Amino acid sequence: MGAPTSPVLSNLICIRLDDHMEQLAQKRKWTYTRYADDMTFSGKRPFKKKHLLLLRGIIREEGFIVNEDKVQRWKKGEQPEITGLILKNKKPDIKEAYIQHIKRDIETYNYLTSPEMQERHLLSKEQLKTFYKSIIGQINFVGFVKGDHHKTYHKLRKLMKLTNRW
């Protein structure tokens, strides 16, 4: 839901699931990571169909449902995408679609805060503030992943009319 408590609750709910997944990963010499409901197994040893069936069984036994749309496997040499990050050359990057989404959000925000839209009182100041914070968070994420000297980060800041560091 995006609440500040969500990661903590997710971790509490997944204690047993994480334990089972970690045991399986250790047996296969993989690394297991989970962010919210996104699980990742990585390593040099191959991940076979039988392992996927085993994982599905563990997930179901723990009372969860597998979202088949999110199940992905990569072949050697492919660039995996994990929780919205593209892993390439041992350094994560962000999909261009994510950058375009931020640009659309900025355009929408600028439109909603224009004098003519402000007169219409379609959104409260609190709603606009929440939207603003969301966009700032996305821009900061770009700066975190790409680096705060990256041109894309600075273009987004300029579009959002951010001149000072916060």
The pLDDT tens digits for 34-82 are 887 888 888 888 788 898 899 999 999 999 998 888 787 777 777 777 7
Instruction: Tell me how far apart the alpha carbons of residues 39 and 126 are, in angstroms, rounded to a whole number.
Output: 35
pLDDT at 98 over 70: yes
The three-point CA angle 140-137-114 to 5° equals 110
- Kindly state the DSSP code that residue 36 receives in the 8-state scheme: T
The three-point CA angle 38-44-50 to 5° equals 65
pLDDT at 132 over 60: yes
- Average pLDDT (114-127) is 88
H or E element, residue 84:
none
- Average pLDDT (15-36) is 91
Give me the chain's average pLDDT, please. Answer: 86
